[in-house]
Homo-oligomer: A and B are copies of this chain.
């Protein structure tokens, strides 16, 4: 008798199944992707968030391999954190592999992990699974989805995709293959929900090329284009257009420099050797022969574009006559930083062109028409929308209904929810561990609710620590009180308040109102009330009573 097929979406944050999805049959499982999320604004001090792999750690030997769909951080970025405990072989296309190698090298894992190169022609056999990667278009080249043949039927994982007939790299998504899978019969489709709120068809990269072309035609000054360092196709578009307009290209920003180097070595970026110049040599060329491609689309404080906007970039000083193109959109949560950067660029006199003004960016994700087309090509029996926040999954689920899938065969689920497929149908299984594992410095998962709550409290009103030494026999004040405070009031202007607080502590100790054992608590409550009354702020209060 066959075992049930089990599917489990996992993710480091908000979006469901964004960073990792498990496909499990009997004693074997594979994971699609192993990515990280950047922290939400209220995850104070957190560097990044990775998926919870407790379920895999509790079932050693279960996971046999990780297959990567493309080279973005939210799909490969958690590998250095998860591989040390679960050192399984990886499967990735050439460019994705190049990006992974950089990470594994940094983490000193390169020798320890088996890395298999695949193409969209590969057939991979892992335990009971026969897996065929298929080509899709996305905002990074060499992206694939996976067709996974299992004993219970065919699973299609779309990866992140859009259908672009005229992509920058000339390779449209493999619709024929998807249709063929549909003809064969698809058990379940796991499909990208990112743009489920957007009607229509995502515009082609061709639109961006056309907008660039226009801008290059009109512009006599320097042209600076900021885009994601991983958006190799966009960078290729810039190279092509710059070349046609006799402009040299300088590459600025560490990750941009690294990625361009790697992509050129692997042949994913082509540019004549003498066209790429060093940023230090910009002054050797007239303005109308210069183009610069750089990082900083999200307003990251240390990025090249933000340094330029703040007039702090060592090599590129912006001035009137410069044209800056922001070829990206703000990721939700980054709007304030991006807007600030745009304002500062305008303040320097640059002409700034961004998406609300001209179509200098298009999304890398399928909009509703393409999502519907994906459903119609693959005609799955079951549908699990993945890679989206909950509201997007719901909307994508409705598209599934529009495509004729009965509502009871559409599973809008949360991270950790197992769905089991067997001869009888599809059923919800158990919920496996699905927390958000927060990474802060070297700590993986040690910062949780308590630490975050304290950071939040400290960020609001700071703290006040009161230190006294009392006689261990008499309870009398021997030394102090010393008061330290940060983030509460500007201490230089608040000497009176602090002095008054000290006097209250002395009074409390001298009045004998406090028993020695309870001194700390009495000080805390009393000060807390006093300070709130005087400031309407609630600093954290820490009394330290040393008995000497």
Contacts and interface: CB of A to CB of B under 8 A. Distances in A.
Interface string A436-465: 000011110011101100111111111101
A465 B344 CA distance: 39
Interface residues of A, number: 72
Nearest to A47: B536
Copies of this chain in the oligomer: 2
B462 A454 contact: yes
B487 A390 contact: no
Interface in A333-361: 333, 335-336, 339-340, 342-347, 352, 356-357
A465 B542 CA distance: 10
A287 interface: no
Contacts of A548: 469, 478-479, 548
Contacts of A546: 467, 469, 479-480, 482, 546
A285 interface: no
A535 B451 CA distance: 14
B458 A462 contact: yes
Contacts of A534: 442
Contact of A456 (B333, B448, B459): B459
B450 A346 contact: no
Contacts of A343: 14, 389-391
A394 interface: yes
A272 interface: no
Nearest to A534: B442
B487 A465 contact: no
A4 to B, nearest CB: 26
A440 B539 CA distance: 12
Nearest to A483: B544
A463 B486 CA distance: 10
Interface residues of A: mostly helix, strand, loop or mixed? Answer: mixed
Interface in A93-145: none
A454 B347 contact: no
Interface string A479-509: 1101010111110011000000000000000
Interface stretch (A37-45, A167-175, A232-240): A37-45
Interface in A185-210: 197-198
Contacts of A335: 332-333, 335
Given A441-B537, A469-B479, 16 more contacts: A14-B339, A42-B336, A44-B460, A45-B460, A197-B357, A198-B356, A332-B335, A339-B391, A343-B389, A347-B390, A441-B536, A443-B489, A446-B489, A459-B459, A469-B546, A548-B548
12 contacts: A42-B336, A346-B391, A346-B394, A352-B391, A441-B536, A451-B462, A454-B487, A457-B486, A458-B462, A463-B486, A544-B544, A548-B548
